[in-house]
Amino acid sequence: MPTTESRWADSQLIGTRVRSVWQWQLIFTFSVVVITLVVGILDVTLLASTGYLIGVFVIIICSIATLVTPWARVPRHAAFVLPLVDIVAIGFLTLEQPSLGYLWLFPIAWVATYFGTAEIVLSISAVGVMSLADPSRWGFSPEVIVELLIILLALTFLAITIAVGARRTRAFRILARNQAQRLTATVDRVQSAEQRVNSLFDSISVALARVTRGGEIVSANAAYRALYSLDTQDLRFPLGGAVEYSDYRGRALSPSETAIARAGRGEVVENERLWLFDRTGTWRALGLSIRDAAPNSLGQPTAVIELADLTAVAEAQRERPHVTRVVAHELRNPLTVILGHADLLLEGSNLTPGQRDHLDVIESASERMLTLIQGLLAQSTDAEDHRATFDAAHLVEASIAAFEPAASASALAIDPVVAGPLPVDGDEFRLRQVVDNIMSNAIKYSDRGTLRVTAGLDDDGCVVISVADEGIGMTPEDVERVFTPYFRAQNAQEGSAQGTGLGMGITRDIVEAHGGSIAVESALGRGTTVTVRLPAAGREEGGER
């Protein structure tokens, strides 16, 4: 059964044959028509000759038959009739004007291009016969013989040259078609193998990514793409929201400290702990490993990033202090009771020496256990304290660096003015959420202009962080309700930016939990300014530093 490729090739050949029949016959007819017009201008009497008129009439009838014949449904060699008829017609033309014998070049070239040796011999023989159609040449004078030899030898040489060239062209065309088919089959096999490899790559639960020395992701499996919310069509453009941290709710890593940047520098890492706050708002503990890999197709060195999900282990470690505190608290009460009753028994006077020794052992062991429990309670309490003194200037600069790609994508310029250091006593992770949320809103609701970010100390010694945009702004009524849960301004709802209306309320709660305040100033169509005031480290709220 013929394949799809073979049927397509056959249809291409049939189409080519039909076009060649029309092309050769119509070019020949056009040449005869032009010659007839010139002859009519130079020698009108030639047009009245019987032989010339018969030749032109035969050529015209042959051309009409060429156009109406369904060549795609007739045998290939049936078209050989056309150049033979043209040779005969040219013979009639030469009866009146022998110089028109040059037109035999057209049918001979046609036959040599598309037919075999037998057709060439038959065509040249037909030319020889038609050359002798004039009775005046039947005497075979030396001039006639020489002229006939010149015509036949010239046409034979032309036919051989064209036939050899056409045969080579056909051979090259067949070779090219076969090579194209083999190349197509090879590409299909490579694509199929690539799909199988990609399927296997995506089925691995460990997040894997291959990175060039320039920090560009060459490939990443499904686990890595989901972890960092990468665009499956173009790995260079993350969908946003995934931020790497040095520790749980700790310091956000700068762009130069991320796993991709380290892999791009050629660092080798083995089982290093990395924290990721993903797009869904979930903390993930990851085991980071970076290893050298084979060069890519361009010969560039690459590295493989491997991220094992250790969230369950990390959560168990985080829950351990709480569990320890609960268990220790529950054990302390009965131990206190035991110690109390042991003391009461030791105060009695009717105990034997052996009984007193046993009570001393019980009391001593209970006191030792109570000391251990109190130590565990102290450790578990310290483990849950996330407040520390940090530099808010560094926090703001890290947030700006993280949002610069998003601002550039929205054609926004960031104008930072950060005067540090700005020591703040609080939860650095929560306050980074505050700045990130304000920056995100400023970019989300702006489509032009400059984002001005300032951070410094005011006259009262408070740390002041301000983000001003030139975006869509809000009405005074919307400003009054901006901290209301699930509230979104009317122009924000009508726009394409997505949101839940919870961010600003959460932001205010975090700021107020740190003893600070947040204010929003906005004008419709003129932008919004959000200002956060926080007590500086070492300064009580309302007092001096």
How confident is the model at residue 333, as a pLDDT?
Answer: 61
> What pLDDT is stored for residue 488 in this prediction?
57
Residue 21 has pLDDT above 60, yes or no: yes
pLDDT of residue 280: 78
Same domain? For 379 and 393 the reply is no
Query: What value does the mean pLDDT take over residues 531-536?
Result: 92
Report whether pLDDT(544) > 70.
no
- Work out the average pLDDT over 467-477: 86
Q: Tell me the mean pLDDT in the region 129-158.
A: 79
3-state secondary structure at position 304: strand
Q: Based on the domain organization, do 120 and 143 belong to the same domain? A: yes
What is the pLDDT, as a whole number, of residue 4? 47
What is the rounded distance in angstroms from the CA atom of residue 269 to the CA atom of residue 85? 84
Specify whether 305 is located in the same domain as 326: no
User: What percent of the chain is modeled with pLDDT above 70?
Assistant: 82
Is the pLDDT confidence value at 518 over 50? yes
- DSSP for 324-370 reads HHHHHHHHHHHHHHHHHHHHHHHH-S---HHHHHHHHHHHHHHHHHH
Joined tokens for residue 383: 């483990």
Q: Among 190-199, 204-213, 251-260, which stretch is predicted with the lowest mean pLDDT? A: 190-199
Label the pairing between strands 450-457 and 413-418. parallel
Helix axes 81-96, 117-131, angle to 10 degrees: 20
Do 319 and 280 belong to one domain?
A: no
Per-residue burial over 464-498, b = 16 or more CB atoms within 10 Å of its CB, e = otherwise:
bbbbbbbbbbbeeebbeebbeeeebbebbeebebe
* Pair (408, 483) in one structural domain: yes
Binning pLDDT at 50, 70 and 90, where does residue 223 land?
Answer: confident
Which among 142, 162, 178 is the end of a domain? 178
Residues 132 and 276 occupy one common structural domain: no
Check whether 409 has a pLDDT greater than 80. Answer: no
How far is residue 519's CA from residue 523's CA, in Å, rounded to a whole number? Answer: 14
CA–CA separation, 457 vs 537, rounded Å?
12
pLDDT of residue 290: 92
Look at residue 455 and tell me whether its pLDDT is greater than 90.
yes
Which residue in this structure is represented by tokens 């499956």? 232
Residue in this structure with the two tokens 């995506």, named with its chain if needed: 202
Residue 145 lies in a domain: yes
- pLDDT(527) > 60: yes
Q: Which of 79-88, 336-345, 468-477 has the lowest mean pLDDT?
A: 336-345
Beta bridge partners of 302: 212, 293
Please give the average per-residue pLDDT across 131-158, as a whole number: 79
User: In the predicted model, is pLDDT for residue 493 greater than 80?
Assistant: no
- pLDDT at residue 443, rounded to an integer: 85
Contacts of 477 (CB under 8 A, 6+ apart): none
Query: Is 156 buried (19+), middle (13-18) or exposed (0-12) by CB count in 10 A?
Result: middle
Give residue 102's pLDDT.
82
If asked whether residues 143 and 82 sit together in one domain, one would say: yes
Calpha distance 44→333 (Å, rounded): 135
Q: Which residue has the higher pLDDT, 318 or 489?
A: 318
Q: Containing H/E element for 168?
A: helix 142-203
Residue 259 sits in the same domain as residue 344 = no
Query: Two tokens at 118?
Result: 């037998």
Burial (CB < 10 A; 0-12, 13-18, 19+), residue 164, is exposed
Average pLDDT rounded to a whole number, residues 491-512 = 64
Location of structure tokens 């598309």: 114
| Better pLDDT: 121 or 334 | 121
- Cα dihedral 133/134/136/140 (nearest 10): -40
Output phi, psi for 304, to 5 deg.
-110, 125
Q: Is the pLDDT of residue 228 over 60?
A: yes
The Cβ-side half-sphere exposure at 216, using a 13 Å CA radius, reads: 8
Say which range, 180-189, 344-353, 412-421, has the weakest mean pLDDT. 344-353
- Confirm whether 418 is domain-assigned: yes
User: What distance, in Å, lies between the first and last C-alpha atoms of the chain?
Assistant: 93
How far apart (Å, rounded) are the C-alpha atoms in residues 544 and 23? 99
Q: Over 70: is that where the pLDDT of 17 sits? A: no
- Does 83 sit behind a cis peptide bond, omega within 30 degrees of 0 on the bond before it? no
Given 275, 309, 343, the domain boundary residue is: 309
The yes-or-no verdict on residue 416 having pLDDT over 60 is: yes
d(CA 78, CA 196): 51
Q: Over the stretch 79-134, which tens digit does the pLDDT of each residue have?
A: 888 888 888 888 888 877 777 888 888 888 888 888 888 888 898 888 888 887 77
Residue with structure tokens 């083999």? Answer: 182
Does the pLDDT of residue 275 top 50, yes or no?
yes
Looking up residue 509, the CATH number of its domain turns out to be 3.30.565.10
**Phi/psi of residue 63, nearest 5 degrees:** -70, -40
Whether 379 contacts 393, CB under 8 Å? no
Q: Please say which residue of 285, 309, 333 terminates a domain.
A: 309
| Number of C-beta neighbours around residue 412 at 10 A | 21
Q: Is residue 194 part of a domain?
A: no
Looking at the fold, whether 125 and 143 belong to one and the same domain comes out as: yes
CA 124 to chain centre: 63
What is each CA distance from 59 to 66, 83, 93, 106, 291, in whole angstroms? 10, 10, 10, 13, 79
pLDDT score of 468: 92
Domain shared by 467 and 515, yes or no: yes
Identity at 325, one-letter amino acid code? R
* Local confidence band at 9 (pLDDT 50, 70, 90 cut-offs): very low
Arithmetic mean of pLDDT, 203-216: 84
Is residue 111 domain-resident?
A: yes
Reported as type and span, the H/E element at residue 301 is none
**pLDDT given for residue 289 in this prediction:** 92
Instruction: Supply the angle between the helices 81-96 and 4-42 in degrees, to the nearest 10.
Output: 10
Q: Is residue 166 part of a domain?
A: yes
Tens-digit pLDDT profile for residues 163-208: 888 888 888 888 888 888 888 888 888 888 777 877 777 788 888 8
Q: How much is the pLDDT for 67?
A: 82
- Side-chain half-sphere exposure of 91, counting CA atoms within 13 A: 19
Residue type present at position 462: C
Q: Into how many domains does the chain fold?
A: 4
Instruction: Give the CATH number for residue 267.
Output: 3.30.450.20
In this structure, the answer to whether residues 434 and 531 fall within a common structural domain is: yes
Average pLDDT, the chain: 79
Q: Mean pLDDT throughout 384-403? A: 82
pTM as predicted = 0.41
Residue 127 sits in which domain range? 4-178
pLDDT at 74 over 80: no
Length of the chain: 545
What are the distances in angstroms from CA 449 to CA 78, 105, 410, 454, 525?
A: 76, 75, 10, 16, 12
How confident is the model at residue 8, as a pLDDT?
Answer: 43
CA distances (Å), origin 137, targets 103, 133, 512, 543: 20, 8, 121, 132
